[in-house]
């Protein structure tokens, strides 16, 4: 029964790490689009500073994937800070875009909070987060056929 729990905790932390990496990559892509061709994205705050935040987020995601608990804590602080920033900006401007970003950052913060206990169990049991990716497994199955 302990094996199932460690697998579930490993999957939880692995999925959170993949989510953080994905959001970092998405932020970088949106920032590059804002710098090259989209003035609408540039007006919403994407640009060079958000490229740096995206790179930092990717580093945090890989840190979580390799079981560095301080990367998890820094990611929590980052997303709670972003949530507070979007909440304050939503209070001032009342736009749907800020509402969506606030909801996304709050959801990610909640997922990060839930994975703290799982990370502590992984460190205690000396196991690593699950690095599997269902899309990679699907593509490997297609190549074998």
What is the pTM (predicted TM-score) of this model? 0.82
Q: Has residue 3 got a pLDDT over 60? A: no
3-class secondary structure per residue, 62-119: HHHHCCCHHHHHHHHHHHHHHHHHHHHHHHHHCCHHHHHHHHHHHHHHHHHHHHHHHH
pLDDT at residue 1, as a whole number: 45
- Would you say residue 98 has pLDDT above 70? yes
Is the pLDDT at 123 greater than 80, yes or no? yes
Q: What is the pLDDT, as a whole number, of residue 130? A: 76
Residue 73 tokens read as 């804590």
More confident residue, 94 or 88: 88
In terms of Cβ atoms closer than 10 Å to its own Cβ (0-12, 13-18, 19+), residue 119 is buried
Q: Is 10 exposed, middle or buried (0-12, 13-18, 19+ CB in 10 A)?
A: buried
Find, among 52, 53, 73, the residue nearest to 117 by Cα.
73
Q: Tell me which residue of 17, 113, 132 sits closest to 25, measured CA to CA.
A: 17
Mean pLDDT, range 21-34, rounded to an integer: 91
């Amino acid at each position: 029964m302990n094996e199932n729990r460690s697998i579930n905790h490993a999957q939880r932390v692995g999925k959170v790490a993949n989510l953080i990496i994905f959001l970092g990559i998405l932020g970088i892509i949106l920032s590059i689009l804002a710098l090259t061709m989209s003035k609408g994205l540039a007006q919403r705050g994407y640009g060079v500073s958000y490229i740096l935040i995206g790179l930092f987020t990717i580093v945090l995601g890989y840190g979580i994937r390799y079981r560095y608990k301080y990367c998890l804590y820094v990611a929590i602080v980052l997303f709670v800070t972003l949530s507070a920033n979007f909440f304050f900006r939503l209070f001032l401007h009342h736009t749907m875009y800020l509402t969506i970003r606030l909801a996304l950052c709050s959801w990610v913060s909640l997922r990060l909070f839930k994975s703290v206990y799982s990370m502590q169990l992984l460190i205690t049991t000396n196991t690593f987060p699950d690095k599997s990716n269902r899309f990679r497994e699907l593509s490997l199955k297609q190549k074998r056929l």
